[in-house]
Amino acid sequence: MSLLRVSAILLLLASLSQASAGERFQPGVELNPFRLLLGQDVRAISAGFSLFDKAGHAEIAFPLFVSLYDDDPDGGVYKDGGSYGPDRYQVIDLDVHYRRFMTRRVGGFYLSGFLRSSYLRGTLLEGQGETGSEIKLGLGIGMGYRVLFPTNVYWGMGIITGRYVVGESEKFAYAPMMVTDDSRYILDIELLKVGWLF
């Protein structure tokens, strides 16, 4: 999924919600630019759409993470003599987060709970280069910090941890350390997420 398509979807969601949310909710879209700079064998985008509840001092967020990792692009040979092609590992995460600000306003320190749905596809751990896929569901908690500027720009950082409760784990041959979706446990750290309020 290209950056242009993701941006168009987020802008459409923001315009639709702005028309219907009224005065209580303020929509925003965000992007983690660091994910775009990870290297030629890693293609990833981390973006999201949020509704800030000004009356409830909360944020309802829908983060999206899409990535494709390529390892050993020339292929190789198994110990028993069979050949294999490049290892590929694809992840699509769609989350729903509820973030409650501890500051009696929108912004500042927050605590959160989340649900995650993940689609994984890649070279299987057991097999001769066959590919497979898995759908997983998980949940967890988190905390973080939001800074909202008067110019409608906002910045945030946070950490979440949790566990997958549906789906098979440790199934794929190649899963980078920075992505924990093939594990039973979820651990994500966001340090540089920049957004725009509408």
Give residue 112's pLDDT.
97
Give residue 87's pLDDT.
61
- Under the banding of pLDDT at 50, 70 and 90, the label for residue 8 is low
Domain hosting residue 72, numbered range: 3-197
Of the ranges 5-14, 124-133, 137-146, the best mean pLDDT one: 137-146
Give residue 92's pLDDT.
92
Per-residue pLDDT, averaged over 167-186, amounts to 78
How far apart CA 43 and CA 141 sit, in angstroms, is 27
Q: Residue 50 belongs to what H/E stretch? A: strand 42-53
How far apart CA 3 and CA 27 sit, in angstroms, is 20
Residue 85 one-letter amino acid: G
Q: Which of 105, 119, 101 is nearest to 168 (CA)?
A: 119
- Under the banding of pLDDT at 50, 70 and 90, the label for residue 78 is very low
How many domains is the chain built from? Answer: 1
Residue 39 one-letter amino acid: G
Give residue 56's pLDDT.
85
CATH number reported for the structural domain that contains residue 136 in this entry: 2.40.160.20
How far apart CA 68 and CA 120 sit, in angstroms, is 10
Kindly tell me if the per-residue pLDDT of 19 is higher than 50: no
The more confident residue out of 168 and 17 is 168
